[in-house]
A = this chain, B = another copy of it.
Amino acid sequence: MARPMQKDIDMEISRDSGDAAGRGIPLRVGIAGLGTVGGGVIKVLDANAALIARRAGRPIVVTAVSARDRSRERGVDLSRFAWEDDAAALANREDVDVVVELVGGADGPALTLARASLHAKKPFVTANKAMLAHHGLLLAELAEISGTPLKFEAAVAGGIPVIKGLREGAAANALSRVYGILNGTCNYILTRMENEELEFADVLADAQRLGFAEADPSFDIDGVDAAHKLSILASIAFGARPDFAHVETTGIRDIGLADIKQAAALGFRIRLVGLAELVGDTLLQRVHPSLVPLGHPLGAVDGPLNAVVAEGNFVGRLLFIGRGAGEGPTASAVVADLIDIARGEAGPAFAMPALALAGFAPAGPESRSGRYFLRVRVADRPGVLADLTAALRDAGVSIESLIQQASGADGTARVAMVTHETTESAVQHALAAMAALPAASGAPLFMPILPQDG
């Protein structure tokens, strides 16, 4: 075949097309925070430099960095870059065109740097979901009024381009619902509990040993991290002001292996699902362990993967799956934002102008409907099942299936139930009545069930 190879094309370009192949004026980047992701961004820009320059139309180069500890070994050569002890100083350097914030934390240095960057009209790229969840509206207003891009693909679902997918890819649609698996640590723990028949505490300890969970894991396993991400997705999907305060958040600490087994026997997997949904004039935002039918696409999302589903009024159901954390995937998303900025990409941070973002009242339990999984522990003696079913009947909740598990050593039985379609307020009434029974042992637990086709 006498067709030109990449090498020949390279020569042709260097001869003929100059800037067109990525030899334009470099975009100069200042990075604050040189942990895993910060180091990853430098590695991506090094490893794929020529390719990125072609795609971006110009080289993207790091010129200055800032971190807490200059001497820490990071596997990248920092001597090429200017150093700032104070991250905020990056925003005012003449050799920095765009600021990347990877410091973390909702307030403090990250927020100071964001403000400094936007005031200086320097595009601001961040992976900081906590800051966006708490201060997203403020930052969007600063970005808009200064005409400066604010981008945060890495803040949700790591390497999966889901911010772009919702903000741009699904932009023609009114979205009714967006939900997904937003925390890889929880998904890893639940998957291992299921596959290896282990209890939560044992898997968590092992995950910490292997680096899949932090020494203080509460941010992940209590659902806070997923809630930060969900508030950002909800804002983009529904034109809502980011509203972390109204994300109802329940983590996975109370999920036992017995729950996973009973759910499996009923045809479900347990996943920590973040879900946002318009319910009339109100907005439901919730992170909660949920039952996913075995045939549902989220049921097959295992281990540390993330997944996001969006449902639009013309496109139907869109599903994005990929790696939700880690050096490579997260750095990939940060650099995608930088390439967009280099290309001159524009448009509002949360998909519509900050002033057009609406504040929604949270959806109450009476306006939520669906099927639910209920689990109670009761003394294993005659008449208890009649008391439970009477509590359900009195609350107007009807039961599709029920499993009573033989008593354990403590003389209690576990009763797991799947309801027919009902309201969540009815479920809560039933749970309160069941908790008040003399035979009840410990607080009952409930989980929403994702519909198969939604």
Binding site for B on A (CB under 8 A): 1, 3-7, 9, 12-13, 16-17, 20-22, 40, 43-44, 47-48, 51-52, 54-57, 144, 153, 159-161, 164-165, 168-174, 239, 281, 297, 300, 312-323, 328-329, 331-336, 338-340, 343-348, 351-353, 355-362
Contacts and interface: CB of A to CB of B under 8 A. Distances in A.
A314 B331 contact: yes
10 contacts: A1-B362, A6-B360, A47-B313, A161-B318, A168-B336, A168-B345, A171-B340, A172-B336, A315-B333, A344-B344
A57 B347 contact: yes
Contacts of A44: 172-173, 314
B314 A358 contact: no
A173 B3 contact: no
A267 to B, nearest CB: 16
A7 B360 CA distance: 10
Contact of A356 (B9, B320, B331): B9
Contacts of A328: 313-316
Given A168-B161, A339-B171, A358 B281 contact: no
A217 to B, nearest CB: 23
A57 B353 contact: yes
Given A5-B360, A54-B239, 8 more contacts: A1-B362, A3-B359, A44-B172, A164-B169, A168-B339, A169-B336, A172-B334, A315-B322
Contacts of A47: 174, 313-314
A361 B17 contact: no
Q: Most chain-B CB neighbours within 10 Å: which of A55, A313, A344, A361?
A: A55
Q: Most chain-B CB neighbours within 10 Å: which of A21, A171, A281, A316?
A: A171
A356 B333 CA distance: 24
Contact of A164 (B159, B160, B165, B331): B165
B174 A170 contact: no
A90 to B, nearest CB: 21
A221 to B, nearest CB: 24
Given A161-B165, A323-B316, A355 B20 contact: yes
Contact of A332 (B315, B356, B358, B361): B315
Contacts of A48: 172-174, 313-314
A52 B171 contact: yes
Nearest to A43: B314
A96 B282 CA distance: 39
Given A44-B314, A172-B44, A356 B54 contact: yes
Nearest to A342: B347
Contacts of A6: 281, 358, 360
Contacts of A319: 319-322
B54 A353 contact: yes
